[in-house]
Structure 1
Amino acid sequence: MELSARNNLKGRIKDIKTNEINAEVLLDIGGQEMCSTITAGSVKRMNLKVGDEVSALVKASSVVIGK
C-alpha cells in the first residue's frame, strides 16, 4: 500500500479510552506521548489492545513549532 503521509512513527499503545462512538488511543513513541482519536469501531475491527506495536501516520498541511 502506498500512502501520501510522509511521517510514519512507530510506537506502542499505552492506553485506550472508548465510548459508544469514539476512542482515544494514547501512544508511546520513543518516550513521547501522542494521542489519536479514532472510531470505536476501528478499535474493535483492528483488535487494538494496550501493548500493541502500531504505526502513527501523520499527514498535516501545517505543523506548529514552539520554543
Structure 2
Amino acid sequence: MKLNVALSARNQIPGTLKEIKKGQTTSHLKIDIGGGHMVTASITNEAVDELALKSGDTVWAIIKASDVMVAK
C-alpha cells in the first residue's frame, strides 16, 4: 500500500489508526504500523476534524525530520 501523492518525505508508513485522544487544541494519535509497533503523532484537533479521522481508519505516518537523535 502506497500513498498516491507526491511528497518530498520518503518515510511514508501505512498503518491503522487505533486511538485518538483529543486535548484542548491538540490530538494525540496512535497508529499501529504492524509487527507490534506503534507510531504516536500530535496534530491539531482541526486537522482531525478536517480529515474526519476515526479509529480503524487506514492512515499514513509521514515523517520528515531534519535531525534524528540516537541515544544508548
User: TM-score, normalization: structure 1?
Assistant: 0.88
Root mean square deviation, CA, Å: 1.3
User: TM-score, normalization: structure 2?
Assistant: 0.83
> Superposition pairs for residues 1-67 of structure 1, below 5 Å?
1-30=5-34, 31-66=36-71
> How many percent identity over aligned positions?
40
Q: How many residues get paired?
A: 67
Q: SS in structure 1 opposite 2:50? A: helix
Gaps of 5+ in 2: none
Gaps of 5+ in 1: none
The Cα shift of 1:66 comes to 4.9
